[in-house]
Structure 1
Amino acid sequence: MTRAVFSRRGERWRVEMDGHADYDPGHDVVCAGCSAIVYALANYLRGVGAERLEERLEPGEVRLEAEGGGAVAAAFQMAAVGLEEIARQYPEHVQVKKSENFF
């Protein structure tokens, strides 16, 4: 199962995602969809010059953390919405949690 946890502390935003969806090993479109969302988030954060960007993008393990309001906040929130939609469609393969103050 892929698990994603979104949190924020003030203007410090974070997502941690680990595991594999195991929907269809070798052809796992669920895992690919989750990966596409967090890789797009990472590239966007680099592109907008997010402050204090920290990243780890490894197979089965993602950690992204950045500071900022506006564009940074919106990007993390959009990624959460995208992963939540995948989790709705594949609840046995993806789980998303958000801190209470995330939105």
Structure 2
Amino acid sequence: MRRTSILAPVLLSVGAVLVAPAIPAQAETALETIAALEAAGYTVNIDRVGSAPLEECVVTSVRNPQTVTELARVEHHDGPFGFGGDDDDHGRLVPVVVSRSISVSLNCAG
């Protein structure tokens, strides 16, 4: 029996590429916006104007989402949860997300 070389969580991350980050609601604080983006799997790059603490900052923009993918080989699986199809599926390549980043601009002028 042939085995799958990619686990389900990795395949689920490929589907996440298709979902764009939501623009934060005005009621969210800068810390809540950053935490939500990190929870969604992003590395958050912050640029800010002013020196107030993050608790006092206002998000002015969320932009430039970047996704880095690599191709991974998927082997055909004959089991009950296999991918199905004929033997032509053996060894096909699928994109797998390896990192995601996004930029957040803050106004911390107070």
Fold shared, TM-score > 0.5 on shorter chain = no
TM-score range (shorter-chain normalised) is under 0.3
TM-score by length of 2: 0.25
TM-score by length of 1: 0.26
Larger Cα Rg: Structure 1 or Structure 2? 2
Relative to its length, the structure with more helix (as a share) is: 1
